Amino acid sequence: RKEVEQDPGPFNVPEGATVAFNCTYSNSASQSFFWYRQDCRKEPKLLMSVYSSGNEDGRFTAQLNRASQYISLLIRDSKLSDSATYLCVVNRPHTGTASKLTFGTGTRLQVTL
Amino acid sequence: GAVVSQHPSRVICKSGTSVKIECRSLDFQATTMFWYRQFPKQSLMLMATSNEGSKATYEQGVEKDKFLINHASLTLSTLTVTSAHPEDSSFYICSAYTGGYTFGSGTRLTVV
């Protein structure tokens, strides 16, 4: 089983639609969770961290269910500029200062007119 | 915010040659640098972790003699792909830990 699993998509949605991405992770000891966005042939950029209580940043809402080891990202009112690959990222439990990150393969979103 | 400058952005080299990729932290000191590789339509895979002044630690399956990492200063970490082969063609990217993770812009390596 992969450490972080995502539906690769692609998700093709019209502008203005709401779209949800899901992710599961295998290591129950993981403590930090993130959603990154990666444009084609570019570096990943942090979209948002994911907290147990759930968190929202504008049109983006992230949820975490530790019991199910499940993370989600909801994008409301999709824009053309949201087209990208969304990476679910989980830290590996560690003893040092900087923990290693494990990336999912990403879910590709294409927003169309 | 913190910036990691990665060079070169693209490189094409002949099979058997070596390629050096540099990551410099601008305006901050990077004690720890992570090196990743990403093949098309796959996730970023951690290759190794470098800490300033000490040997890098490599992930399982990554050949340390092939992928040489040097982190001699707090602002520079380098990855050298030695005796590159076509199967080493990939997107290589570094990330510095600064309380959060700052990524370089990546290097697209093509070995012909």
Distance from CA of A104 to the nearest CA of B (A): 6
Residue A2 confidence (pLDDT) above 90: no
Which residues, in sequence order, are CB contacts of B40 under 8 Å at separation 6+?
A: none
pLDDT, residue B31, reads: 87
**Does residue A95 surpass a pLDDT of 70?**
no
**What is the DSSP secondary structure assignment for residue A68, as one 8-state letter?**
T
Distance between B57 CA and the closest CA of chain A, angstroms: 12
| Angle in degrees, CA A101, A39, A78, rounded to 5 | 105
Question: If pLDDT is split at 50, 70 and 90, which confidence band does A98 have?
Answer: confident
**Ramachandran bin of A32, using left for φ above 0, alpha for ψ from -120 to 50, beta for the remaining angles:** beta
* Contact of B58 with B47, CB cutoff 8 Å: yes
Contact B91 A8 (CB under 8 A): no
Distance of residue A77 Cα from the nearest chain B Cα, in angstroms: 27
Q: What is the DSSP letter of A15?
A: T
CB neighbourhood size of B35 (10 A): 27
pLDDT at A97: 64
CB atoms inside a 10 Å sphere around CB B38 = 22
pLDDT per position as a tens digit, B13-63? 999 999 999 999 998 888 899 999 999 889 999 999 998 888 899 999 999
Question: Nearest by CB to B104, which of A43, A100, A106?
Answer: A43
Does A98 sit within 8 Å of B106, measured CB to CB?
Answer: no
Residue B10's Cβ-count burial label (10 Å; 0-12, 13-18, 19+) is: exposed
Separation of alpha carbons A37 and A85, rounded Å: 6
B103 close contact with A: CB closer than 8 A: yes
pLDDT of residue A85: 96
Query: pLDDT tens, A45-90?
Result: 999 999 988 999 999 999 999 999 999 999 999 999 999 999 999 9
Angle at A73 between CA A36 and CA A59, to 5 degrees: 90
Contact between A15 and A78 (Cβ < 8 Å): yes
pLDDT of A96:
63
Residues B67-106: tens digit of each pLDDT: 999 998 889 999 999 999 999 999 999 999 888 899 999 9
